[in-house]
Amino acid sequence: MSVGAAGDLGDLGDLARCSLNTATVKRATLREAVDVAARAGLGAVGLWRDRVEEAGTARAAKLVADAGLCVSSLCRGGFLTAAHDDGVAAALDDNRRAIAQAAEVGAPELVFVVGGLPAAGGPEAPVRGDAGPGDRDLVAARARVADRLADLAPFAAEHGVRIALEPLHPLFAADRAVLSTLGQALDLAAPFAPQVVGVVVDTYHVWWDPALEASIARAGAERRLASYQVCDWCLPLAPVALNSRGHLGDGYVDFAAVTRWVARAGYTGAVETEIFNEAVWAADPAVTVATLADRYARLVRPHL
Amino acid sequence: MSVGAAGDLGDLGDLARCSLNTATVKRATLREAVDVAARAGLGAVGLWRDRVEEAGTARAAKLVADAGLCVSSLCRGGFLTAAHDDGVAAALDDNRRAIAQAAEVGAPELVFVVGGLPAAGGPEAPVRGDAGPGDRDLVAARARVADRLADLAPFAAEHGVRIALEPLHPLFAADRAVLSTLGQALDLAAPFAPQVVGVVVDTYHVWWDPALEASIARAGAERRLASYQVCDWCLPLAPVALNSRGHLGDGYVDFAAVTRWVARAGYTGAVETEIFNEAVWAADPAVTVATLADRYARLVRPHL
């Protein structure tokens, strides 16, 4: 990287579209994250609900606005694959809360991670392989996601919040998201107005997809391209696979190509760096933000 | 599992289509693998080139035939993504040898794993994240695979061997196979006659694909369904991700659904169990084969 001392950005030029997802500086409070983003000259932050709830929604909104930043997205709703009534009701309740929070905090987009097979027991539960046959029915789990979207879309529309469906890497199809490709996300979104249900392009999750260029173009044509999140695909995988995401340039993603496709699709929004990585979490947030701003300026912005 | 003592299969019925891929009993010699498969009543074995070369091709063919078994496939050729002349020439040489071996050993199908990004340095090399920009060009790497297929297809046709393109899970897109979906495999195969280039359905690699049912049907309609390999997707991933494959029923794959789709596509060939897993490799090969035969009889055969 070309940055010097912690937080010394030199002249990286216009960072108005560069957004810090707060999960990238997981151990910072919301105030610390907002401060470090603003000092680095970034234009936006992507918020996680845990940090928003800690601060209180109204105070979180004020913190961000007072720092001169926009909210590029709120992470996250979803986890819609429950097969039984109790789980369905709990998911709907939680997502209505998330939609209301997004509206209150001024997040135009609420990112949805749709959930894995019921056998996998949700995002934080240990996975297990002794599921019953029904728990392995991927087709049915995907159909339930469509049903829950139909339940939630009117509520989102009333609140002026767009549900942004995030396809996750197929690595996570069992335990985290049965939504695995951008094309599938667009198919799921199709019954709804584009201002109500959009899609996320997260490079970590979709970089490998042979249909990616075509699906991004389709997302643009259908006016559903709601968020562009970036980080790199690094190997070997971390012991917790989800935490293998790295700074741009540290892995295998062709950011020039994907960014050109996103720009060509008419996307004019923020580019949110969202990294889950123990080493990044252990770093000084100012150094992390300096690095991500530098990588954005070199690897993304020239292609926007 | 419902088997009793090592190798005690009880009455599992017709195992004629059940095939043992020799990688599942990695530490057995070819003779040991063939013996254990034959004693269990299996109809076929899928061979790896290392075991064939150890035994000698002619002797390997005789070993299998004398045991009353068929060869369901030879693993593997491929690794076609080299960008420079030397690498291209080496890949073509090695694949011509593999095609000749497949013909000599009586394998109707030669499985191709197409290779990863050049930055990843091939299947056995450590991966690295400091690749130059060209090394990350996935679109170009995929185009080189198509070019190498065009180089090799006439040679395969002359030898009466079908190249069976195996899409690998997107988890391996960087370091092992830029061929990531069955649909992409069918697109790659399209310029060639179906008896020259076919496709492999390996449940571990494709179970997550929202287009799987449609792509399997397409493979059938295009007469390209060359091999059906089975094993389960288990979590958490093993320290070496490739070795996370498990016995059927130990993970998340819906074998009933995928097997029905394969049968409906007109597939009448062998069902090859191919497991990479340190615990399975450490087990007595007779126990491993008893388990895989039991799982085949319960989870696959009823749906064929």
In a domain, B288, yes or no: yes
pLDDT string in tens for chain B (304-residue length): 344 444 455 678 999 999 999 999 999 999 999 999 999 999 999 999 999 999 999 999 999 999 999 999 999 999 999 999 999 999 999 999 999 999 999 999 999 999 999 865 443 333 344 444 458 999 999 999 999 999 999 999 999 999 999 999 999 999 999 999 999 999 999 999 999 999 999 999 999 999 999 999 999 999 999 999 999 999 999 999 999 999 999 999 999 999 999 999 999 999 999 999 999 999 999 999 999 999 999 999 999 9
* Of the residues A169, A192, A226, the one at which a domain ends: A226
Interface of B with A in 140-199 (CB under 8 A): 142, 169-171, 173-175, 180-181, 183-184, 187
What pLDDT, on a 0 to 100 scale, did the predictor assign at position B126? 37
Q: Are residues A176 and A160 part of one domain?
A: yes
Kind and range of the H or E element at A101?
A: helix A85-105
- The 10 Å Cβ neighbour count of residue A112 is 31
Contact check, Cβ <8 Å, A235/B127:
yes
**What DSSP letter does each residue of B133-194 carry, written as one string?**
GGGG-HHHHHHHHHHHHHHHHHHHHHTT-EEEE----GGGTTTTBS---HHHHHHHHTTS-T
Shortest CB distance from B173 goes to which of A120, A142, A208?
A208
CATH number where B48 lies:
3.20.20.150
From A169, A197, A226, the end of a domain falls on A226
Asked whether B196 and B158 are in contact (CB, 8 A), the reply is: no
* Chains A–B, number of C-beta pairs less than 8 Å apart: 112
pLDDT at B211: 98
Q: Is A153 part of any domain?
A: yes
Chain B partners within 8 Å of A209 (Cβ): 170, 180-181
Nearest CA in chain A to B129: A251
- The CA distance from B266 to the nearest CA of chain A, in Å, is 22
**B58 to chain A nearest CA, in Å?**
39
Chain A residue numbers with beta carbons less than 8 Å from the beta carbon of B142 are 210
Assess whether A130 and A221 both reside in one domain.
yes
Chain B, residues 211-250, CB within 8 A of chain A, namely: 211, 213, 232-237, 239, 241, 246, 250
CB atoms within 10 A of CB B54: 13
Residue A118 with chain B: CB contacts under 8 Å: none
Per-residue pLDDT of chain A (304 residues; tens, 9 = 90+): 344 444 455 678 999 999 999 999 999 999 999 999 999 999 999 999 999 999 999 999 999 999 999 999 999 999 999 999 999 999 999 999 999 999 999 999 999 999 999 865 443 333 344 445 458 999 999 999 999 999 999 999 999 999 999 999 999 999 999 999 999 999 999 999 999 999 999 999 999 999 999 999 999 999 999 999 999 999 999 999 999 999 999 999 999 999 999 999 999 999 999 999 999 999 999 999 999 999 999 999 999 9
Cis peptide before A236 (omega within 30 of 0): yes
Q: Does any domain span residue A110?
A: no
Q: What is the DSSP letter of A299?
A: I
Q: Are residues A83 and A142 in the same domain?
A: yes
Asked if residue A298 and residue A211 are part of one domain, the reply reads no
Position B2 in a domain: no
A65 CB contacts (<8 Å, ≥6 apart)? A106
Q: Which residues of B touch A184 (CB under 8 A)?
A: 210
Which segments of chain A are extended strands (E)? 18-21, 44-48, 70-78, 109-113, 162-165, 197-202, 225-230, 232-233, 245-246, 271-273
A265, exposed or middle or buried, with CB in 10 Å at 0-12, 13-18, 19+?
Answer: buried
- Option in A131, A171, A174 nearest B171 (CB): A171
Q: How do A245-246 and A232-233 pair as beta strands?
A: antiparallel
What SS3 state is found at A75? strand
What ipTM, to 2 d.p.?
Answer: 0.93
A139 lies in the same domain as A277: no
Among chain B residues, the shortest Cα distance to A142 is held by B210
Instruction: Examine residue A205 and state whether it is found in any structural domain, yes or no.
Output: yes
Strand, coil or helix: what is A229?
A: strand
Q: Which of A210, A235, A241 sits opposite B181 (nearest CB)?
A: A210
Note down the domain range covering B282.
39-111+139-150+168-192+202-232+243-303
Distances (CA, A) of B304 to A77, B18, B208: 40, 11, 20
Residues of B in contact with A173 (CB under 8 A): 207-208
Considering the domain architecture, whether residues A86 and A201 belong to the same structural domain is answered as: yes
User: Using CB atoms within 10 A of its CB, is residue B113 exposed (0-12), middle (13-18) or buried (19+)?
Assistant: buried
Query: Is residue A92 within a helix (H) or strand (E), and if so which, with residue range?
Result: helix A85-105
Same domain, A83 and A69: no
Rounded to an integer, what distance in angstroms lies between the CA atom of residue A14 and that of residue B52? 60
Determine contact, residues A185/A199, Cβ cutoff 8 Å: yes
Say if A139 falls within a structural domain.
yes
CB A215 within 8 Å of CB A182: yes
Query: Could B117 and A252 be called an inter-chain contact, meaning their C-beta atoms sit closer than 8 Å?
Result: yes
The verdict on a CB contact (< 8 Å) between A208 and B138 is yes
| Cα dihedral: B28, B32, B34, B38 (round 10) | -130
| Nearest Cα residue to B214 out of B167, B257, B254, B261 | B261
Residue A257 contacts B, CB cutoff 8 Å: yes
Which of A172, A200, A226 corresponds to the end of one domain? A226
One domain, residues A84 and A200: yes
Q: Are residues A146 and A213 in the same domain?
A: yes
b/e burial code for range B156-183 (CB count within 10 A of at least 16 → b):
bbebebbbbbbbbbbbbbbbbbbbbbbb
Contact A20, A42 (CB under 8 A): yes
Q: Are residues A64 and A87 in the same domain?
A: no
Angle, helices B85-105 vs B138-158, to 10°: value is 40
Residue B56 near chain A (CB below 8 Å)? no
The closest CB to that of B233, out of A174, A184, A234, belongs to: A174
Token pair of B29 as six digits: 């010699």
- The CA distance from B105 to A41, in Å, is 65
Cα–Cα distance, A251 to A166 (Å, whole number): 21
The answer to whether the Cβ–Cβ distance between B208 and A120 falls below 8 Å is: no
Q: Is residue A288 part of a domain?
A: yes
- Work out how many domains chain B is built from and give that number: 1
Tell me the shortest Cα–Cα distance from B126 to chain A, in angstroms.
Answer: 9
Any chain B CB within 8 A of the CB of A258?
A: no
* Residue B49, amino acid: R
Which pLDDT score, from 0 to 100, does residue A1 have?
Answer: 38
> What is the Cα Rg of chain A in Å?
18
CA atoms within 13 A of residue B228's CA, in its CB half-sphere: 25
| Beta bridge partner(s), residue A205 | none
pLDDT at residue A9, as a whole number: 59
Q: How far is B301 from chain A (nearest CA, A)?
A: 16
A132 interfaces chain B, CB cutoff of 8 Å: no
Residue B293's H or E segment, with its range, is: helix B285-295
Amino acid at B237: L
Residues of A whose CB is below 8 A from B253:
136
> Do residue A183 and residue A221 come from a single domain?
yes
Residues A86, A62: one domain? Answer: no
In a domain, residue B259? The reply is yes
